[in-house]
Amino acid sequence: MAVQPIRLFGDPVLRTRAEPVVDFDKELRQLVRDLEETMLEAPGTGLAAPQIGVPLRVFTYHVEGVLGHLVNPVLDLSTEEQDGLEGCLSIPGLEFDCIRAAHVVAAGRDMHGEPVAIEGDDLLARCLQHETDHLDGVLFVDRLDRTARKAALKAIREAEWAGAPAPAIKVSPHPTFGRAL
Ligand code: NI
- Mean pLDDT for 30-44 is 97
> How many angstroms is it from 87 CA to the middle of ligand 1?
7
Q: What are the phi and psi torsion angles at 108 (to 5°)?
A: 180, -150
pLDDT over 90, % of the chain: 87
pLDDT band at 180 (very low <50, low <70, confident <90, very high): confident
More reliable by pLDDT, 55 or 172: 55
**Domain definitions of the chain by residue range:** 12-158
> How many angstroms is it from 123 CA to the middle of ligand 1?
13
pLDDT digits (tens, 9 = 90+) for 111-134: 999 999 999 999 999 999 999 999
Amino acid, single-letter form, for residue 18: A
Domain 12-158 has CATH 1.10.357.10: no
Q: What residues are annotated to the active site?
A: 131
Rounded to whole angstroms, the Cα distance separating 3 from 41 reads: 8
> How many angstroms is it from 79 CA to the middle of ligand 1?
22
The number of beta carbons lying within 10 Å of the beta carbon of residue 129 is 25
Range with the lowest mean pLDDT among 21-35, 110-124, 140-154, 156-170? Answer: 156-170
Query: Does residue 57 have a pLDDT over 80?
Result: yes
- Mean pLDDT for 41-58 is 97
Residues listed for the chain: 181
| pTM of the full structure | 0.91
H helix intervals, 42-166: 122-135, 146-158
Q: What SS3 state is found at 55?
A: coil
Q: Which of 140, 142, 141 is nearest to 127 (CA)?
A: 140
> How many angstroms is it from 127 CA to the middle of ligand 1?
9
Average pLDDT, the chain: 93
Query: Does residue 177 have a pLDDT over 80?
Result: no
User: Which residues, chain by chain, have CB under 5 Å from ion ligand 1?
Assistant: 88, 181
